[in-house]
Structure 1
Amino acid sequence: MEPVFFPDDPQFWFETLRTFGHITYGGADFGETVVTTQRIKAGDYDSWHDEWLATADRVADEGRTALTHGHRISARDAFLRASNYYRNAEFFLHGDATDPRILHAYDASVACFREAAGLFTPPIEPIAIPYENTTLPGYLYRVDDSGTPRPTVVMFNGFDGSAEEMHFVGAAAAVERGYNVLSFDGPGQPGTRHHQGLLFRPDWESVVGPVLDHALTLPEVDPARIALLGNSMGGVLAPRAAAFDHRVAALIAFDGIYDLGTITTSPVPGDRAEAERRLRADHDPELDAVLEEAMAASPMVRWAMQQGMYVMGAESPRAFGAAYLDYHVREGIAEKITCPTLVCAGADDGFFAGQPELLYAHLNCPKKLLEFTAEQGAAAHCQAGAQRLAFARVYDWLDETMGAAASAGSVRS
């Protein structure tokens, strides 16, 4: 899809497209997104923050006013949109982890989402999942309050998204179809990185394991029908977890990733072994300079390096590149997955082109590659802008794989 806004800044355009996509499940409105985008100066992170914050503040005020007057649906809708707009506001600020605007906007995003959560029927329940010496924040969505065990989708976001955003990226769509949902933020993701300082870890089975332990204590969860969905970078984290935890009955890689090390080694001269050696070296001023030049030349590289340093706790772009090498399902890991697996792929993925196909090729389990095209308006990374089409196809596969969800077609109010 050709950029409609920010034609010279693919990162700003993708984040705008991502916001347009969230319209489908209530995370944005078209006019609000357009007028906000028109006020933003391309490539200017401060401008991006200021304009999205202003829109978020205005929409949140609309929600509070509606709630004061007893208009619960209007309030819920406004709080959902404001939550997503606040998420947008702090998105590009992570180059300076001490920037106070990060926590201000993030906390407002969570607060607005929780206001909205309480206005659903039944309410979406904030939860704290025991994990090592702390907890992981998340949400439990119930189709109804009967306590009936149902198939459940455990889901999480990726490199830069939150559990709150997962409402628009799979959770609402699942509940419409009769699935319960447990969404959460793991280490390195916003709910743990911003306040607890937890950083990403490659052995994601050590994260999903405690989450499944918690899920299995819930009477609403059918233990034989738990699906695991990983969004974006979750497309490698979820397969990694499923390879080692066979309580997962079905796996959805949205989109699939086989080896993130390919992303950081491909620009480095020499073969893979030489690239890895240089990324992990104590000193490589020449490669450091190359990476700095790449950040100056490319808005996508600039953002990815800054975000990666923030969520991995890396002190330099090269250190982030070295950390990324550990995120893969190579060396026989993908082959350990036994549950039916759906691998999604966008034809024009600007981040992980070719990765879904690699993951799919290494799977020995029952598997399906679900390809999305430009003609469908769904070719972008994680089918941004095409959520209705994408989740219809994803959950139709899940229905057929795990058995139709109880009370399929149930719509929340």
Structure 2
Amino acid sequence: MQAHGYAPRKALYAKFLKTFTEGARLSGEPLQRMEIPYAGAHLAGVFTPAEGVQGAAPCLVIINGLDSTKEMVYRAGLFPQLLAKRGISSLFLDQPGTGEALRLHGMTAVANTEAWASKVMDYLQTRPEIDPARIGLLGVSLGGYYCPRAVAFEPRFALGVVWGANHDWGEMQKRRLAREGERPVPHYWEHVRWVWGASDMDEFMAIAQQVHLNGVMARIKVPFLVTHGEADRQIPLEYAHQSFDQLTASPDRALKIFTPREGGIHHSSLDNTANAGAWIADWVAQRLGGRVA
């Protein structure tokens, strides 16, 4: 992992954005850029419309993890296409702490994710191609914290999904520090301090201790899916069970552990995102009024 201030990294990111946009244009993908006003700037997203839907369609918002971007998640496992074929539009978003929000606008991550999620919901409810009553939220990796927190405190979301249950990220940082010390993956601690806007390790660890879902999951009152890879080596499987068990107010909760038989057993199913993505897309379609493939 390169240091975030490394000049060639900044140049590469600019080229990455340009290449993604040009590649999508050349391939004829029906995506469009959305810019959602927030904090004096905007949150950038990639929107793909549902197929075969007349009028307003349901929409699933997909948010990043610790160090992913909307373009990376968009390209993982054909997920926007899987959703579109089921009559679900999608918005892959660079929320604060990720992608353009962090790199171009200096927006760092926050524990109270409803602060930006509510602004996203405000914007999407003004879009005529989106059904305001059928907007869901999915989080990948650290999005497994960001998403449930947002759904718990922003009641307009119709459902939530975590692709990797990050129930207590703060505890994982304490374990990492105890196990690997101050030099784990190169620049890891520098990177997370940048993401969270912390000036030193003491400030970062204080912030990290707020990043857990104890007392949060019980506030969720909409359908919610917890998924996890059986062999995830980054986030323990026990966290999936903790998140699911605490969904005591959800009227329709589900736990899906991806096994070796079907694939998708590693962190956020990176070993088989297409298979896991199809399973998740079916679950979402059944609840947002789409089509099951």
- Assess same fold via TM > 0.5: yes
Gaps of 5+ in 2: none
SS of the aligned residue for 2:244 comes to: helix
Gapped runs of 5+ residues in structure 1?
1-91, 269-289
From 88, 97, 118, give the equivalent of 1:179.
88
Within 2, Cα distance between the matches of 1:267 and 1:184? 28
- Residue 328 of structure 1: aligned partner: 212
Counterpart-to-counterpart distance in 2, 1:267 and 1:128: 36
Match of 1:196 among 82, 105, 117: 105
Tell me, yes or no, if the aligned pair for 2:61 and 2:91 is still in contact at 8 Å. yes
Q: Which one of the candidate residues 181, 185, 192 is aligned to 1:294?
A: 181
Do the aligned partners of residues 383 and 303 (structure 1) sit closer, same or farther apart at CA in structure 2, a change above 3 Å counting? Answer: farther
Mapped contact 2:97–2:108 kept (Cα < 8 A)? yes
More helix by share: 1
Q: Give the superposition deviation at 1:333.
A: 1.7
**Equivalent residue for 2:158?**
249
Of 328, 345, 357, which aligns to 2:228?
345
Specify the alignment match of 1:399 in structure 2: 285
Aligned counterpart, 2:127: 218
The secondary structure found in structure 2 opposite 1:164 is helix
SS at match of 2:61: strand
Q: Deviation digits for residues 360-406 of structure 1, max 9, x if unmatched? A: 1110212100001234332110001201210111011112222334x
Instruction: Tell me if structure 2 keeps the 8 A contact 1:182–1:215.
Output: no
The answer for the alignment partner of 1:39 in structure 2 is: none
Structure 1 residues 270-294: Cα deviation after superposition (integer angstroms, max 9, x where no partner): xxxxxxxxxxxxxxxxxxxx68x62
* Aligned-partner SS, 1:377: coil
Q: Is the Cα–Cα contact under 8 Å of residues 258 and 358 in structure 1 kept in the other structure?
A: yes
**One-letter amino acid matched to 2:225:** L
2:121 corresponds to which letter in structure 1?
L
Q: What aligned pairs does 1:300-315 form with structure 2 within 5 A after superposition?
A: 302=186, 304-315=188-199
Could you tell me which residue of structure 2 aligns to residue 258 of structure 1? 167
What is the Cα deviation at residue 267 of structure 1? 6.2
2:49, 2:89 within 8 Å by CA — same for their partners in 1? Answer: yes
Give, in whole Å, the separation in 2 of the partners of 1:257 and 1:403: 28
**For residues 13-59 of structure 1, what are the alpha-carbon distances to aligned partners after superposition, in whole Å with 9 as ceiling and x for unaligned?**
xxxxxxxxxxxxxxxxxxxxxxxxxxxxxxxxxxxxxxxxxxxxxxx
CA distance in 2, matches of 1:176, 1:215: 21
Kindly provide the amino acid, as one letter, of the partner of residue 39 in structure 2: E
CA positional deviation for 1:315: 3.1
Runs of 4+ in 1 over 4 A off after TM superposition: 144-147
Among candidates 136, 143, 163, match of residue 43 of structure 2: 136
From 258, 264, 268, the counterpart of 1:378:
264
- Deviation of the 1:121 alpha carbon: 4.7
Distance in 1 (alpha carbons) for counterparts of 2:73 and 2:193 = 23
Q: Is the strand fraction higher in 1 or 2?
A: 2
**What TM-score, normalized by structure 1, do the two folds share?**
0.65
- Helix, strand or coil at the partner of 2:181: helix
CA distance in 2, matches of 1:114, 1:199: 24
Q: Distance in 1 between matches of 2:63 and 2:233?
A: 21
- How far apart in 1 are the matches of 2:115 and 2:54? 28
In 1, the alpha carbon distance for the partners of 2:165 and 2:86 equals 23
Output the aligned Cα RMSD.
2.2
Q: Provide the residue aligned with 1:153 in structure 2.
A: 60
- How many residue pairs align between the two structures? 288
Q: Name the CA distance, whole Å, in 2 between partners of 1:400 and 1:158.
A: 25
Normalising to structure 2: TM-score of the pair? 0.90
Q: CA 1:104–1:255 in 2, change beyond 3 Å: closer, same or farther?
A: same
Identity %: 26
Q: Which has the larger radius of gyration?
A: 1
Distance of 1:196 and 1:313 partners within structure 2:
13
SS of 1:196 mapped into structure 2: coil
Equivalent residues of 1:122, 1:142 under 8 A apart: no
Residues 318 and 352 of structure 1, relative CA distance in 2, 3 Å threshold: farther
| Distance in 2 of aligned mates of 1:122 and 1:346 | 30
1:322-350: CA deviation from partner (whole Å, max 9, x where unpaired): 221111222x2211101100000111212
Distance in structure 1 (CA, Å) of the matches to 2:91 and 2:15:
22
Distance 1:312 1:228 in 2: 22
CA-CA distance at 1:110 after TM superposition: 0.8
